[in-house]
Chains A and B, each alone.
Chain A
Amino acid sequence: DAKTTQPPSMDCAEGRAANLPCNHSTISGNEYVYWYRQIHSQGPQYIIHGLKNNETNEMASLIITEDRKSSTLILPHATLRDTAVYYCIASLYNTDKLIFGTGTRLQVFP
């Protein structure tokens, strides 16, 4: 699985867009980018995943660069409840395990 690099922490004002970057320069052609988050000590929560096209769902948007070496998770209107650790994971579609790193701790402030 490709290694991912994320900033350890970020701040975002409530109501503004939170843009969380992830570097995965060694990603292979058949590895997906997955995003999860963990609020306090709760179980990780799946957010979104993509291969090369940009993706959007009700929670977030995922923008993947054309060379696939990096991506950005966008929370369009951050709320206090979005305060969490966000994990970017690169992994083959048909493997069974997620390798969690240390993620980005996003603090949303009023």
Chain B
Amino acid sequence: EPEVTQTPSHQVTQMGQEVILRCVPISNHLYFYWYRQILGQKVEFLVSFYNNEISEKSEIFDDQFSVERPDGSNFTLKIRSTKLEDSAMYFCASSVRQLAAFFGQGTRLTVV
């Protein structure tokens, strides 16, 4: 069964460093998303991406964040200068149509 793949599964980084989280969406999907979940809290929407551009983003997704689909298969989330409060599980998702999204297993980001 096709699945969304995320790497790495766990990333530890120092505060102020840049991180790139990587995702390989399901191959025929057209919509791509990033969500995050701080430990013990709700799953929060960050950004959606369609037709090579951001279609919607939340207030969390500020100038420190960016997304890219560099080669037609990968979908990346970059955090330019990480803060302690960026520590969370980051989930990538993709869908053929909006909202029936398939999620990856997540990358646990720990900022120290």
Contacts and interface: CB of A to CB of B under 8 A. Distances in A.
Interface in A54-98: 87, 91, 93-98
Contact of B89 (A34, A41, A87, A95): A41
Interface stretch (B11-19, B65-73, B74-82, B103-111): B103-111
Interface residues of B, number: 26
Contacts of A91: 99
Contacts of B100: 34, 46, 49
Given A96-B31, A96-B98, A97-B56, A44 B103 contact: yes
A42 to B, nearest CB: 6
Q: Which size class do A's interface residues fall under?
A: 20 to 34
Contacts of A41: 37, 89, 106
A101 B42 contact: yes
Interface in A1-46: 32, 34, 38, 41-46
Given A95-B56, A96-B48, A100-B43, A45 B103 contact: yes
Interface of B: 4, 31, 33, 35, 37, 42-45, 48, 50, 55-56, 58, 89, 91, 93, 98-106
